[in-house]
Amino acid sequence: MIREPFRAGDTMLHRADVRIKLATCGGLVCLAALLRTTEASLAALGVGAIALTLARLSPVEAACRLAAANGLLLLLAASLALTYPGTTWEHWPMLRVEGAVLGLRIAIKANAVLCLVLALSATSSMAEMAQGLRRLGLPKKLVLLLAFSYRQLFVTAAEWERRRQALAARCFTPRMSLHSYRAIAILFGQTLLGSLDRAGRIQEAMRARCFHGVFHMLEAPGKDRAPATLENTGMVLAALGCGALLLALEAGWII
Amino acid sequence: MHISDGALAAPVLVGGAVLTLAGVCLGLRRIDLDNIMTTAVLASVFFVGSLIHVPLGPSSVHLLLNGLAGMVLGWAAFPCILVALLLQAVLFQFGGLTVLGVNTFIVALPAILCRLLLQGLLAKGGKAAAISGFVGGSGAVLGTALLAAVSLGLSDEGFLPTARIVVLAHVPVMLIEGVITMFAVAFLVRARPELLGNRSGVQPGLHVEHPQSDSRETARMSILLLLVASCLALPGRAEAHKVLVNAWVEGDVLLVETAFGDGSAGTKAQVTVRDQASGQVVLQGVADEEGMARLPLPEAVREAGNDLQVVSNAGQGHKATFMVPADELVGQSATVPQDPPAIASGDASETGGATALGTDVAMPPGIDVETLRLLLRLETSRAVREQLQPLRRDLRTLQQQGPRIADIVGGIGWILGLAGLAVLLRRPGRDTSCPPRS
């Protein structure tokens, strides 16, 4: 149900410090999402594609992820092309030119963001990311919540799957009926209660181990900085260069 | 519910982030070390719940379950939903990173409203709880869809039809969510009556309270909050790209001026003039370097006497519309005499000085007093109108700059953000019974 297929790998992007990856990812993603010109958006997509190539992710997996997201984007673009106020296309009057261009630009920007997220954040494990977020200064409780939720996700998913299979073994096939909805609702309710009970047990176990809010994996030992390795410096420089390029294109200094 | 990256405008993104930040601050205050595990487990349960596909007709929809999450988690729903959306964005690349704030807010706010409004009914149990489950489950999805529509509409008015489609598409999901939440609430009320009716939100695993508030953390969060809030105070970029259009008639020329909110001229803007009644394009032109387009008004347009709709497109979706009322066209054409009376207009303007009003002044030959008076009135009214044009233009520009919905929402964001800060700073007294830090 939940996999992290992009974590494995030993490229420059996999080796870089997670804080630098998160910071560059955040910066470039914000920049890419707010672009207003088509040229700059295309350039952002190019940057994303290059990052994706550098990360050497499994092409099939990456394509699947992109395709899933693009289904929704297609719907949005189609809706905009048909309803956005503006001039109609001479060959097919139902289509609005401005809406189609806007929809396309949103799709390009969203794909650029997706590529960047795949290349820069999906190449770290969630545990590394929680550590990085904590060291970047996110509140302790929020990061603990993230780390614990991620840990429990697999347990909960397995529990849900176990209960679902028990139901399937009794020849239950979900249909569009009140009976099915009731069964799914009760299944979910049972999972919730089971998880609550388990949470109580985990809490007690943690208390027994003297947990009082410090999760050593997440805490930074003093003021450590990301080492100035080739990957880290290269990444910061590349991100700054890409950001400058996008801004220059956006302001119309290049084209 | 996912609004994808790249669709929303910067002020909406920042506004959503600020509101989410305030909500997360409030939510984190409800979470202490005794219930953080419970909260995290519940967050993971609702994350798994959002992956459940439920059959609907030939296809299936995935659940949102934010209503139930709100009922179980209370204010802790804010950080939980943020975490769940972040996990979705990173693990499955659903949703997006820049829209995380907006998406969290539009999912979590209806969830919390659900709990606040339905708490009493839920505590009653039985049928009342089941009904409130249906109302809460479907209401939360409706609220989410409406908030998504609002954030789309605030970003670009052209998104409004799409926003309407978004809301309509959520109606079947709403019903299914309502039914499933109803059954789930009925089950939970029977199986664990104390879960939904209690007032404190998440139950601690062990009932020992020792809130550990970390002052440095509070300070850091406050600084973050203020930083983001101050982003809202820089509306320059959004305002700079607001397009202002103004159009007026001078003689038989329609003048259209296009400018951006920051005062720069809308050069090369495409100007289209439509007849408001028939919808036909009657005039087209391109603005010059100063953003002015001079379009000669054809006689047919004046005679039609309809309002004119002026649309100026400065490119990149920067578009604005202006209405030229019909009486402005008619007024001008009617007052300009088509065929002046049998006098030389040159003479009239020369004699039309200060002395012309008195009837006892010596008249030039061939002009009677009535004609002169008429001519004078015409000339004066034209001169006055020309003098007034810039003023009227300024007035219209001012009218177009009235408070927009975005400003109002931004203001609410400020108020909530500062309120959140106030709540943060008013932290409870330090409990000395908690074990010392190692």
Torsions phi, psi of B223, nearest 5? -65, -40
Looking at every residue in chain B, the average pLDDT score rounds to 76
Torsions phi, psi of B264, nearest 5? -75, 150
Give me the amino acid identity at B346. G
Q: Residue B358 half-sphere exposure, CB side, CA atoms within 13 Å?
A: 5
Report the distance separating Cα B23 and Cα B424, nearest Å: 11
What value does the mean pLDDT take over residues B67-85? 92
Asked if A142's CB is within 8 angstroms of B82's CB, the reply is yes
**What number of residues does chain B have?**
438
SS3 A75: helix
Closest partner residue to A199 among B41, B179, B434, by Cβ? B41
Contacts 24+ apart (CB under 8 A), B397-400: B397/B244, B397/B246, B400/B244
Residues β-bridged to residue B281? B274
Residue B242: predicted pLDDT: 64
Asked if A214's CB is within 8 angstroms of B317's CB, the reply is no
CA angle at A80 for the pair A76 and A81, rounded to the nearest 5°: 115
Asked if A192's CB is within 8 angstroms of B47's CB, the reply is no
At residue A223, does pLDDT exceed 90?
no
Residues of A in contact with B133 (CB under 8 A): none
Min CA distance, B333 vs chain A (Å)?
30
Asked if A33's CB is within 8 angstroms of B5's CB, the reply is yes
Residue B188: predicted pLDDT: 92
Asked if A149's CB is within 8 angstroms of B44's CB, the reply is yes
Q: Quote the distance between the C-alpha of residue A124 and its chain's center.
A: 11
Candidates B54, B151, B162, B180, partner chain A, best to mutate (most A CBs within 10 A):
B162
Residue B332: predicted pLDDT: 52
- Taking only the tens place, the pLDDT of each residue in B250-304 is 777 888 888 776 566 777 788 888 887 777 888 888 888 777 888 888 888 777 7
Torsions phi, psi of A111, nearest 5? -70, -35
What's the pLDDT band for B237 if we cut at 50, 70, 90?
very low
Please name the residue that has the structure tokens 């029977």: B190
Looking at every residue in chain A, the average pLDDT score rounds to 88
Residue B78: both structure tokens together: 């804010």
In chain A, which among 125-184 make CB contacts under 8 A with chain B? 126, 129, 137, 139-142, 144-146, 148-153, 155-157, 160, 174-176, 178, 180-182, 184
What's the pLDDT band for A87 if we cut at 50, 70, 90?
confident
- Taking only the tens place, the pLDDT of each residue in B335-378 is 444 444 444 444 444 444 444 444 455 566 667 888 888 889 88
What value does the mean pLDDT take over residues A151-155? 92
Residue B208: predicted pLDDT: 33
Q: Name every residue whose Cβ is closer than 8 Å to that of residue B396 and which is 6 or more positions away in sequence.
A: B246, B322
Give me the amino acid identity at B140. A
User: What's the Rg (C-alpha) of chain A?
Assistant: 23
Residue B346: both structure tokens together: 């040159």
What's the pLDDT band for B92 if we cut at 50, 70, 90?
confident
Taking CA–CA distances from B78, the nearest residue in chain A reads A142
More confident residue, A213 or B402: A213
At residue B431, does pLDDT exceed 70?
no
Asked if B214's CB is within 8 angstroms of A122's CB, the reply is no
CB B125 within 8 A of CB B193: yes
CB B295 within 8 A of CB B274: no
The CA distances from residue B346 to B252, B354, B435, in Å, are 20, 16, 100
pTM beyond 0.80: the answer is no
Residues of A in contact with B35 (CB under 8 A): 203
Question: From the CB of residue B355, how many other CB atoms can be counted at a distance below 10 Å?
Answer: 9
Residues A38, A43, A48, A51: what is their CA dihedral angle, to the nearest 10 degrees? 180
* Segment of A70-84, B252-266, B359-373, B402-416 carrying the highest mean pLDDT: A70-84
Residue B269: predicted pLDDT: 82
SS3 A96: strand
What's the pLDDT band for A143 if we cut at 50, 70, 90?
very high
- Which of A186-200, B65-79, B234-248 has the weakest average pLDDT? B234-248
At residue B305, does pLDDT exceed 50?
yes
More confident residue, B191 or B424: B191
Asked if B89's CB is within 8 angstroms of A184's CB, the reply is no
Taking CA–CA distances from A199, the nearest residue in chain B reads B38
- Which of A99-113, B121-135, B335-349 has the weakest average pLDDT? B335-349
More confident residue, B397 or B332: B397
Question: From the CB of residue A124, how many other CB atoms can be counted at a distance below 10 Å?
Answer: 25
Q: Which of B437, B145, B2, B211 is nearest to A72 (CA)?
A: B2
3-class SS string, chain B: CCCCCCCCCHHHHHHHHHHHHHHHHHHHHHCCCCCHHHHHHHHHHHHHHCCCEEEECCEEEECCCHHHHHHHHHHHHHHHHHHHHHHHHHHCCCCCCCCHHHHHHHHHHHHHHHHHHHHHHHHHCHHHHHHHHHHHHHHHHHHHHHHHHHHHHHHCHHHHHHHHHHHHHHHHHHHHHHHHHHHHHHHHHHHCHHHHHCCCCCCCCCCCCCCCCCHHHHHHHHHHHHHHHHHHCCCHHHHHCCEEEEEEEECCEEEEEEEECCCCECCCCEEEEEECCCCCEEEEEECCCCCEEEEECCHHHHHHCCCEEEEEECCCCCEEEEEECHHHHHHHHHHCCCCCCCCCHHHHHHHCCHHHHCCCCCCCCCCCHHHHHHHHHHHHHHHHHHHHHHHHHHHHHHHHCCCCHHHHHHHHHHHHHHHHHHHHHCCCCCCCCCCCCC
Q: Name every residue whose Cβ is closer than 8 Å to that of residue A9 and which is 6 or more positions away in sequence.
A: A55, A56, A57, A123
Q: Which residues of B23-41 are buried (b: 16+ CB within 10 A; e: fewer)?
A: bbbbbbbbbbbbbbbbbbb
Torsions phi, psi of B50, nearest 5? -75, -5
Residues A43, A49, A50, A53: what is their CA dihedral angle, to the nearest 10 degrees? -170
At residue B161, does pLDDT exceed 70?
yes
Candidates A87, A181, A202, partner chain B, best to mutate (most B CBs within 10 A):
A181
Asked if A137's CB is within 8 angstroms of B93's CB, the reply is no
Asked if B6's CB is within 8 angstroms of A32's CB, the reply is yes
Taking CA–CA distances from B89, the nearest residue in chain A reads A117
Ramachandran quadrant class, A31 (left: phi over 0; alpha: psi -120 to 50; beta: rest): alpha
Percent of chain A with pLDDT over 90: 41
Residue B358: predicted pLDDT: 46
CB A142 within 8 A of CB B33: no
At residue B391, does pLDDT exceed 50?
yes
More confident residue, A239 or B426: A239
Asked if A2's CB is within 8 angstroms of B91's CB, the reply is yes
What's the pLDDT band for B400 if we cut at 50, 70, 90?
low
User: What's the Rg (C-alpha) of chain B?
Assistant: 32
Taking CA–CA distances from B176, the nearest residue in chain A reads A181
What's the pLDDT band for B79 if we cut at 50, 70, 90?
very high
Q: Name every residue whose Cβ is closer than 8 Å to that of residue A55 and which is 6 or more positions away in sequence.
A: A6, A9, A11, A13, A14, A118, A119, A120, A123
Helices (H), chain A: 12-15, 18-33, 38-55, 59-83, 97-120, 126-135, 140-169, 178-208, 230-251
At residue B220, does pLDDT exceed 80?
no
Residue B351: predicted pLDDT: 44
Is the ipTM value over 0.85, yes or no? Answer: yes
At residue A216, does pLDDT exceed 70?
yes
Q: Which residues of B239-255 are buried (b: 16+ CB within 10 A; e: fewer)?
A: bebbbbbbbbbeeeebb
Report the distance separating Cα B438 and Cα A213, nearest Å: 11
Please name the residue that has the structure tokens 């594609």: A49
Report the distance separating Cα A13 and Cα A117, nearest Å: 12
Residue A110: both structure tokens together: 């969203």
Residue A253: predicted pLDDT: 82
Q: Quote the distance between the C-alpha of residue B341 and its chain's center.
A: 56
Residue B239: predicted pLDDT: 44
SS3 A134: helix
Residue A30: predicted pLDDT: 92
Report the distance separating Cα B53 and Cα B66, nearest Å: 15
Residue B424: predicted pLDDT: 66
Min CA distance, B409 vs chain A (Å)?
20
